């Protein structure tokens, strides 16, 4: 989507970048998914549910639950798979218990997901590669009629939209929960999506080509909003790739074309420029959260979408404040500090040029904020769960605060212009009196 990409500023303060941006975000991927994430696969995770309290554990776990008042050392031996002294704790007197397929000591669970004092392993997101992704997509049920539908998006691209080609309906969430994040411009990804039998052909084109219109609303609003189509939710999120301050790179706008159906999410990253290293910090934060694991990790794919929306928006706001709102403050400081030491007429001409440039950028920020507010509003209509909706409500609140802040910055720029004009008039009148 070319229109919305131009609404982002293409430059930020490089000195400020050195204080905040990691030097090499690619090393994070190499440390965890270097062998898994190849051929355009930026990252992929599958949600592994923890064993709930409703399960039937083996004898060791059941006795532990019943004899919760036993000594701490004995309990730790149970979790560590150490042999227990049954006689010392009178466990031999306990009645025999049935075995279960899921236990505390089940080797299928990762060790990190079992903390001391926990009866059952907690849920976590497991990094997966292409082998597992292929298995997951084979589980998806595709509509047999999709393959027979002719898809022509090359002719009259301005008239044909994805919603015109794919029947709108909503499928019940079933199957494994997983997220696959890919680079849209990679040849392997292009081949994978173009031959995907489990995707509607129009959805495949929409993921590969971000200039393809999702719906008719784009023609009137100049930004895309989420739509329910072909069994899922097609939407896009906006963000920026932070440039490398050591290489004096500018920030680059990105578009995240996304497809959510059943319990999976596919996000295709589109870069609106070129850079030696792509650092989309909002996505990187979500990736790190899933890798690290915690009790507050996302439990559903709706929560993953909400986290992506929230993190991308937060980084956009930070960069807007630094690169645009911060420059507006600098213009005001320049005028106040140097108005008595420069050729005032020439100085105001230079500052007026900066103010005009900043005013244009502030207007673009305003439109991008309104686009985000509309996107979040539509996501709130489709996403479920208290955690996901709470995050989206927070994004909507912060977006409205940013809109108010943008209006204040714009007003301050106009005030600076008025003060400069008044000062120049007074200076010219004073010079005329001396002559």
Report all structural domains of the chain as residue ranges with CATH numbers, in order of start.
Answer: 2-50+125-295 (3.30.460.20), 52-120 (no CATH), 316-434 (1.20.58)
Res. 200: pLDDT tops 70:
yes
Residues 133-151, mean pLDDT to the nearest whole number: 70
Residue 70 CA to residue 165 CA, distance in Å, equals 64
- Parallel, antiparallel, or unpaired for β 178-183 and 264-271? parallel
Residues 387-402, mean pLDDT to the nearest whole number: 96
Residue 395 CA to residue 387 CA, distance in Å, equals 13
Res. 424: pLDDT tops 60:
yes
In terms of pLDDT, which residue wins out, 122 or 44?
44
Does the pTM surpass 0.85? The reply is no
Distances 4 to 194, 224, 229, 311 between C-alpha atoms, Å: 25, 9, 22, 19
Residue 182 CA to residue 39 CA, distance in Å, equals 9
Which of 171-175, 311-315, 356-360, 393-397 is predicted least confidently?
171-175
8 A C-beta contact, residue 268 and residue 188? no
Q: Which of 315, 180, 177 is nearest to 240 (CA)?
A: 315
Here the tokens at position 83 are 């042999």
How far, in whole angstroms, is CA 69 from its chain's centroid? 45
Residues 181-210, mean pLDDT to the nearest whole number: 93
Residue 347 CA to residue 336 CA, distance in Å, equals 12
In terms of pLDDT, which residue wins out, 366 or 95?
366
């Amino acid at each position: 989507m070319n229109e919305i990409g131009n609404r982002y500023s293409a430059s930020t303060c490089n000195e400020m970048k050195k204080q905040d941006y990691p030097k090499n975000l690619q090393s994070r991927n190499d440390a965890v998914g270097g062998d898994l994430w190849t051929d355009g696969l930026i990252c992929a995770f599958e949600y592994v549910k923890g064993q709930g309290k409703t399960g039937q554990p083996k004898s060791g776990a059941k006795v532990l639950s019943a004899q919760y008042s036993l000594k701490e050392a004995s309990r730790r031996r149970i979790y560590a798979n150490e042999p227990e002294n049954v006689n010392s704790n009178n466990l031999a007197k306990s009645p025999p218990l049935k075995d279960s397929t899921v236990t505390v000591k089940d080797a299928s669970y990762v060790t990190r997901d079992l903390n001391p004092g926990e009866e059952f392993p907690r849920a976590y997101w497991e990094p997966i590669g292409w082998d597992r992704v292929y298995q997951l997509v084979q589980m998806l049920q595709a509509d047999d009629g999709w393959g027979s539908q002719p898809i022509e998006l090359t002719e009259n691209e301005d008239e044909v939209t994805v919603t015109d080609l794919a029947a709108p309906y909503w499928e019940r969430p079933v199957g494994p929960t997983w997220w696959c994040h890919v680079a849209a411009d990679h040849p392997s990804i292009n081949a994978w999506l173009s031959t995907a039998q489990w995707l509607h052909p129009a959805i495949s084109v929409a993921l590969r080509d971000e200039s393809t219109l999702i719906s008719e609303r784009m023609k009137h609003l100049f930004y895309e909003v989420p739509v329910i189509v072909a069994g899922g939710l097609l939407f896009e999120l906006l963000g920026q790739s932070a440039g490398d301050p050591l290489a004096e790179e500018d920030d680059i706008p990105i578009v995240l074309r996304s497809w959510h159906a059943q319990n999976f999410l596919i996000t295709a990253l589109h870069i609106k420029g070129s850079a030696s290293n792509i650092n989309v910090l909002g996505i990187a934060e979500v990736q790190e959260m899933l890798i690290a694991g915690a009790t507050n990790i996302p439990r559903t794919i709706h929560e993953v979408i909400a986290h992506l929306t929230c993190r991308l928006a937060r980084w956009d706001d930070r960069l807007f404040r630094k690169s645009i709102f911060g420059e507006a403050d600098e213009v005001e400081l320049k005028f106040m500090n140097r108005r008595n030491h420069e050729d005032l007429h020439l100085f105001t001409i230079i500052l007026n040029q900066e103010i005009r440039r900043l005013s244009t950028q502030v207007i673009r920020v305003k439109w991008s904020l309104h686009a985000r507010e509309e996107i979040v509003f539509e996501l709130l209509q489709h996403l479920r769960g208290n955690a996901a909706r709470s995050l989206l409500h927070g994004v909507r609140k912060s977006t409205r605060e940013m809109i108010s802040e943008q209006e204040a910055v714009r007003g301050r720029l106009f005030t600076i212009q008025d003060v400069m004009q008044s000062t120049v008039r007074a200076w010219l009148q004073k010079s005329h009196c001396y002559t």
